[in-house]
Amino acid sequence: MTDTITLRRPDDWHVHLRDGDMLGRVAGATALQFARTIVMPNLAPPVTSVSAARAYRDRIMAALPRDTRFTPLMTAYLTDDSDPQEIARGAAEGVFTAAKLYPANATTNSAHGVTSIAAIRNVLEAMEAIGLPLLVHGEVTDADIDIFDREAVFIDRVLAPLLRDMPGLRIVFEHVTTADAVAFVESADADVAATITPHHLHINRNAMLVGGIRPHAYCLPVAKREAHRQALRKAATGTSDRFFLGTDSAPHERAAKESACGCAGIFNAPFAIESYAQVFDDEGALDRLEAFASLNGPAFYRLPPNEERITLKRGETIVPDLVDGIVPFHAGETLGWSLA
């Protein structure tokens, strides 16, 4: 039995670091575990310009202790009014690592999101030309689509046609939750990848709905039925290099979660790598954790893997009920691995 694993320091390819007071409370947890992170731009107002992304990057670094070795990789929030030249300039100046497509009203702070692919066609053409990855929150928002079907319908109605139309576009299908998404990524060519969260590997929709409604298990896309969770575990722990770590850590104040209309988002940053390690251990795939956590992401983003190493040891990690006033994923549970 393996009791210690050493891997290159992982990166988090999808995280919400928030802003202001909340940024100060959550950024440290991410910087402690990860070397680099793709920072989501869904602030209010969203990060749509090069100057806004630069200023946000500065606020993130200012929220961390001065000697922290951490690189926030910034993203542009696409709107119907996005300017292809602004996106291209941000990429050329090393500010934008990717641009994010939120379908309008799909999730937290997405009111300014894109209403139709046609509206951003010129931006996507510019991105295709320079190889800037498009990150997608893959859910349709049509009122007649059942919320559990939103991701699968997005593939048929949006993603598959988009790739047929622009086969050179590099795409990360973010926080995939279904067997359909796994199959889509596996059958697509090498420029299509996906991130998988720890929570979608651990919980299915029962965690949210059985024995009372559990707002801390609510996120978007919502957790699906067990067969989908199993498909995600197989994809994450399998041999494909197209799946990689993206926590989608999305903190909300406790009162905003425990409410008649609770916010979507799970705060998993404080014990993210321990949570993933548990899954890989349970699947008998600890030898593939490094590829998922530390190699596949950089390869897709055409960045070198980190040289620094971290060590995980078998042993109890007790997850507290609150971390800086926020309820973390696995609150009150014990995980089987600890970060040395």
Ligand X SMILES: NC(=O)N[C@@H](CC(=O)O)C(=O)O
Instruction: Give the annotated binding-site residues for substrate.
Output: 16-18, 42, 137, 220, 252, 264
Q: Among 157, 151, 120, 125, which residue's Cα sits nearest to residue 138?
A: 151
> Residue 137, interface with Zn ion (CB under 5 A)?
yes
> Residue 137, interface with ligand X (CB under 6 A)?
yes
In the list 209, 264, 299, 339, the residue contacting ligand X (rule: CB under 6 A) is 264
State the binding string over 38-67 for ligand X (x if CB under 6 A, else -). ----x-------------------------
CA dist 29 and 268 (Å) reads: 9
Contact 145, 221 (CB under 8 A): no
Which CB, 84 or 262, lies closer to ligand X? 262
> Residue 112, interface with ligand X (CB under 6 A)?
no
Among Zn ion, ligand X, none, residue 9 binds (CB under 5-8 Å by kind): none
In the list 91, 219, 236, 269, the residue contacting ligand X (rule: CB under 6 A) is 219
Contact 280, 289 (CB under 8 A): yes
> Residue 248, interface with Zn ion (CB under 5 A)?
yes
> Residue 177, interface with ligand X (CB under 6 A)?
no
**178, β-bridge pairs:** none
Q: List the binding residues for Zn(2+).
A: 14, 16, 100, 137, 175, 248
Which CB, 173 or 337, lies closer to Zn ion? 173
- Half-sphere exposure (Cβ direction) of 287: Cα atoms closer than 13 Å: 3
- Residue 248 is a catalytic residue: yes
What sign for the dihedral angle of Cα 327, 338, 235, 163? positive
Q: Among 62, 63, 70, which residue's Cα sits nearest to residue 34?
A: 70
| Binding to Zn ion in span 90-109, by CB under 5 A | 107
CA dist 215 and 45 (Å) reads: 25
Tokens representing 194? Answer: 């996906």
Tokens representing 28? Answer: 């440290």
Site residues (CB under 6 A) for ligand X? Answer: 16, 42, 107-108, 137, 219-220, 248, 250, 264-265
What positions carry a catalytic annotation? 248
